[in-house]
Each structure stands twice: as C-alpha cells, then as structure tokens.
Amino acid sequence: MPGRLLIFSPNWLGDAVMALPAMAAVRTAWPEARLAVAVRRPLAPLFESVPLVQAIVPLDSRSAYSDRMRAVADAERVRAGEFDTALLLPNSFASAWLARRAGIPERWGYRGDFRRLLLTNSMPRPSRRGHQSEYYQGLVECLTTGHGRRAAGQGPHNGPLLQPSSRILARARELLVARGWRENAPLVGLAPGAAYGHAKRWPPARFAAVLKALAAAGVQSVVVGSTGDVDAARELEQALGDEARSLGWIDLVGRTDLSTLLGILAACLAVVTNDSGAMHLAAALGIPVTVMFGPTNERTTAPLPIGGEPARAHAVLVKTAWCRPCMLRDCPIDHRCMTRITVDDVLEAVRKQLG
C-alpha cells in the first residue's frame, strides 16, 4: 500500500487542472498516505491552492535528453522525498526516466514514448478517448485496483478543487480595488485570449460588446490573461473606442502571477472565456463559466462540472460547422465555428448565471 505517493502532474495549465479529480480520487483511496505532486516550476503555485496535496516538488527540466543536468538535479530532488509509489499522468519519456532515476520502487503510467521498460506497472492507453479528466481517472483506477482498493468513481465533485488561501484572496481584492473595483458591484471575468493560435479566440470585438452590455447593467468586468494575451486585450480595448474610460472595466492582462489570477477569478460571479487555462481555473474554483468552443473538442476539454450547484452550471457554446473540431491553430477559411456564436448567445448565458 502506498505510504508516500508522488503524482507527476501534466505539464500544461489546463491539463493540470483537469487532473485534479484524479488526484482527489487518489486521496480518497489512501487518506492516510502522504501525497505529493511533482510539477514544472511555473505551475507549482497552482498546487498551493489544492488542499489535498501535502508537498510540492518543483521540476526545472523539460527533457531527459537535451536538459540532462537539470533532469539529474530534478531526480535528486525527487529522491530526497523517499517516495515508494509514483503515478505518472504525463505520457512523456522524461517523467518515466525521472521516476526511475529517483529510485521510486513502484512506477505506474500509460505505455508509450518508449518508456514501458522504465515503468514497473504499465497500462495500455484507452482505445476510446473521452474527457481528459477521465483519461487521468482511468490510470488512477488501475492503481487503486492493483492495490486492492475500490476503483475511484467519477462525476461532479462536492466542492471546489482549488481553494486559494485567505492571503491570496486578500491580495487579489486589494489589487482589484486599487484598479477601480467597486466592491458592492458584481464582477465578471473576461478572458479573450487562448494559447496556440487565433482559431480558439472568439473575436475580441465581441468580448468588448459583452463588456459594454454588462456595464450598462451595473456589472463590472475584469479582463484577465497572460502576457501572451496582450494583443487580444488591446483589440478589445480598441473595440471599446471612446467609451473605454467610462465603462469601469479593469485590465489585468499580463499583470498577475498564477496565484493572484486564482484570487481574481475567485472574486468573480461568472467568467466569459475561450477554451483556455483561465476557463479551467475558474471551473475548478467553482465559478460558472460561459465558454465558446470552436476548433477544439468540447467533449475532451470542457470545464470541470460544479458539484451540487446545478443553477450555477457552465454554459458551453458550440455552433454547427462541417469543419469542426479541426484542432487547427489558424482558420484557413472564415472562422465560422466561432463567429456564429453571437454576443446575445453569450449575454443570455451570463445573465442566467448571474441570476
């Protein structure tokens, strides 16, 4: 039975969030075990807001081949934790090499990437791919069944998977107030950016139209995103035109670290977003999201459900197009999968969430 269990987190923000239900299932199976997470250093702050995680092992290497010095240092950092079991959620060779180099006796993971010999317990990948969270849960079920525990269940959680500390929440509120938030005003988050090309982005001018309509109803908006989303934020601002200064919106794109972003989203009553890391963060905080899906597949990366609160359910907006989901970074035709989603579609969803 695992006593000191290390879970290797996925390497991308959205995937790491979608892995949280699997981590919760591990905690349920072994409430007495010491549970730690090995994660790329930029994502480490995420797990400071995950109550079920007792320790975080930050990783600096990206490859066991090209980044060998850092990989060896990572392995020694992992070895110091004296873990007896590793659960590898990433499919990479590097994660399997690292767990073996660190001397962890039991190493569980899916086969692939020439790493089968590095694992003590390897499972074939599922032939049919459902939601990404189910993909991780399948690996947990193999682990729990292999140790004679009842397989982890799936479905909505009873509460938020992310719970920022009071310090993080206070710091975020201070920032919002300093930027002009009237604390008695309802706050909605807007995330107009998305990684990996423009195809995933609903037109920023339409985000601007949503912002204007919310402001007319007495709702303030805070625009969030990483430094890579600055262009989308500037397009949104340009679309606001001469009204930009009078609408009371708050621009925090590229101005927050991961912890502060969690606090900002936690202050929102709803979030309007593309298929992005911000979408997954808001959902894991228990905040209802309105999300526009175009080139990506909502069946595999939809926001995690909010357990126990059907009235605050997410709104996943999809329009029929023969070419979707194409998974392309840039649309080679007319971006119809996204432009067919109207401003009214979004406003109707947000108004329901705000009650």
pLDDT bin (cut points 50, 70, 90) of residue 1 is: confident
* Rg, the chain, Cα only: 21
Peptide bond into 325 cis (omega under 30): yes
- Residue 209 half-sphere exposure toward CB, CA atoms < 13 A: 12
Please give the mean pLDDT across all residues of the chain.
92
Asked if residues 294 and 335 have their Cβ atoms less than 8 Å apart, the reply is yes
Burial class (CB in 10 A: 0-12, 13-18, 19+), 353: buried
Query: So what's the pLDDT on residue 155?
Result: 44
DSSP string, 90-120: S--HHHHHHHHHTT-SEEEEE--TT-GGG-S
pLDDT in tens, 68-87: 889 999 999 999 999 999 99
pLDDT surpassing 60 at residue 320: yes
The secondary structure of residue 244, as a DSSP letter, is G
CA distance 227 to 213: 26
Name the nearest CA neighbour of 307 among 285, 278, 292.
Answer: 285
Helix (H) or strand (E) holding 77: helix 68-79
CA distance 264 to 282: 10
Q: Which residues of 8-47 are buried (b: 16+ CB within 10 A; e: fewer)?
A: bbbbebbbbbbbbbbbbbbbebbeebbbbbbbbeebbbbb
Q: Which residue has the higher pLDDT, 308 or 316?
A: 316
Strands 106-110 and 121-123: parallel
Query: So what's the pLDDT on residue 200?
Result: 96
Asked if residues 164 and 173 have their Cβ atoms less than 8 Å apart, the reply is no
Query: So what's the pLDDT on residue 154?
Result: 46
Asked if residues 36 and 53 have their Cβ atoms less than 8 Å apart, the reply is yes
pLDDT in tens, 28-71: 999 999 999 999 999 999 999 999 999 999 999 877 666 788 99
